[in-house]
Amino acid sequence: MNKGLMTSGNIYKRILIFAIPLLLGNFFQLMYNTIDSIIVGNYVGKEALAAVGASSPVINLLIAFFQGLATGAGVVVSRYYGAGHHRKMSEAIHSFILFAMIFGLFLSVLGVTMTPVFLNMIGTPADVFSQAAAYLRVYFLGNIFVTVYNSSTGILQAVGDSRHPLYFLIASSILNVLLDILFVRVIGIGVVGAALATIICQGVSMVLVITVLMRTDAEYKLKLSQLKLNFAILKEIIRIGVPAGVQGVVVSVSNVIVMGYINSFGSASIAGFSSANKFDNFIGLPVNSFALAATTFCGQNLGAGEFERVRKGVRAALAMSITAVAVMGVIIYTNAPVCIRMFSSDPEVIEAGAGLIRIMCPFYVFLCFHQIFSSALRASGHSSVPMMTSIISFVVLRQIFLAFTMPRWHEISLVGYCYSFTWVLAALFTGFYYFHSRWLQKEQAHYKPRTV
């Protein structure tokens, strides 16, 4: 049996073995921007730290749509892999990697030219603007590294290989630390050095993961001579991926608007929010890792017609993600000021960041329900449902909440309550559909075994 197949064996073990490298890999990927922030905050100043923090929502906005498409590609590849349909799987892989190259170049041009517009849209303060613009322009030059790396990693994960991306992220994260110290501390080129270190490391990661795909003897081997756009398969990828991409873009736009509210509190609060956001991402690591594991697990088992394993796999992923989030949440909640002090010793920064962490920590469990249920639905092709529940919760209701409360009380803590409140609603909406729509029974009724 192929090592990456999850269509048999102990469900908890299969998901956990796959999710652990994802968890560690996502951790090291987060370390890119986190290390930038730690070094910039301690060696350049809080304005530079705020500049890096103000850049994050803009970066996420531009790459969000592609990440959704990559989700669609992963679902298509995993289902072909689970069904043993290797020719179509190969066509999907070659088509999407070429698409990733084209899309990455487009994002680079768009990002570099539109940087001032994006920063003005979110009301970036004058003392932060020039450094944020410099950071973004350098970062956007490496967008093709991000898109090709994400597409290639998604393919490996779809066929059950989460180890190789982990190894490459560990290596590139170590390199990132060394380059950050060199560019920021030794050479002294500030936020430009931090962005330069990041894109160099992303380029290294891309080369490593492409090399694995080209050297493997498995059915998912990448051959540059076979790179071409198969529009029939791209249409299927787009059908599944566009709702996830639209969701990512719209939620990112919402976060950009939220950043506009935060910018009104000044550079110390921006830096505090940016620091708290790093730990928000770290607590979200097990949520995202088990959700991605659930997508691959469900995709392969749906392709193989193992419908009861799909149901049991969702329960297993949910139980493990809740356990991990609860443990991490208690540790970070208890040590919130110490966590923020890693980025800045400024009392205002620590107060703002620690307060936000303690508001949000108790509510991460609701994200587990939303993300795991959403992953199973996407694996079945029902990606429009998570899109709608996310947009309603994370965009519409989030903005209504802030529009109503901010003019009246104007406290940064409202941002923390806003995120927490909408996580609860998203879990309720997605959970209702998951349990009451009979989506899995419909999948089973329409299932037709694929042949090679």
Digit-coded pLDDT (tens) for 26-63: 777 777 667 767 777 777 776 777 777 667 777 777 77
Q: What is the pLDDT of residue 161?
A: 84
User: Percent helix, strand and coil across the chain, each rounded to 5?
Assistant: 85, 0, 15
Angle at which helix 46-83 crosses helix 267-304, to 10 degrees, equals 0
In a domain, 336, yes or no: yes
Digit-coded pLDDT (tens) for 244-258: 788 777 777 787 788
Contact 352, 269 (CB under 8 A): yes
In a domain, 354, yes or no: yes
In a domain, 204, yes or no: yes
Residue with tokens 């110390």: 268
Q: What is the pLDDT of residue 452?
A: 40
| Cα–Cα distances in angstroms (integers) from residue 265 to residues 123, 126, 280, 413, in the given order | 11, 13, 20, 11
Q: Is 3 exposed, middle or buried (0-12, 13-18, 19+ CB in 10 A)?
A: exposed
Query: Residues in the chain with pLDDT < 70?
Result: 1-4, 32-33, 36, 46, 53-54, 122, 447-452
In a domain, 268, yes or no: yes
In a domain, 147, yes or no: yes
Domain enclosing residue 252, as ranges:
11-445
Contact 390, 447 (CB under 8 A): no
Longest dimension (CA), the chain: 64
Question: CA–CA separation, 342 vs 339, rounded Å?
Answer: 6
Q: What is the pLDDT of residue 211?
A: 93
Contact 238, 71 (CB under 8 A): no
Q: What is the pLDDT of residue 198?
A: 85
In a domain, 5, yes or no: no
CA 78 distance to own-chain centroid: 19
Question: CA–CA separation, 201 vs 174, rounded Å?
Answer: 9
Query: DSSP H helical segments within 217-306, as ranges?
Result: 231-263, 267-304
Q: What's the total number of domains in the chain?
A: 1
In a domain, 394, yes or no: yes
In a domain, 452, yes or no: no
